[in-house]
Amino acid sequence: MCSLPAKNSFDMFVTKYNHRDGKLTMKMTDDVVCVQFSTNQLQDVKRLEKLSASLMRAMVSHS
């Protein structure tokens, strides 16, 4: 597990799915720190889907 900086100003959040390999990749970066996670396990994909949804809700509510 890695720790992210205390600030909440990530500049980019990317989700990419490769159907051929069945692999989901998520990446968050602020051009200084880059956090990336890839998986092909269904359980992890579901967890990442929940994480993505909660991040989107948080971004919308703080606008």
For the chain, what is the largest distance between any 2 Cα atoms, rounded to a whole number of angstroms? 37
CA nearest 16: which of 52, 47, 59? 52
Place of tokens 């990442």: 48
pLDDT, tens digit only, all 63 positions of the chain: 455 555 656 578 888 999 998 898 989 888 888 999 999 998 988 888 898 888 888 878 865
| Helix (H) or strand (E) segment spanning residue 62 | none
What is this structure's pTM? 0.61
Token readout for 1 is: 């597990």
> What are the sequence ranges of the domains in the chain?
12-61
What is the spatial distance between Cα 63 and Cα 61, in angstroms, rounded to a whole number?
A: 6
CATH number of 12-61: 3.30.720.10
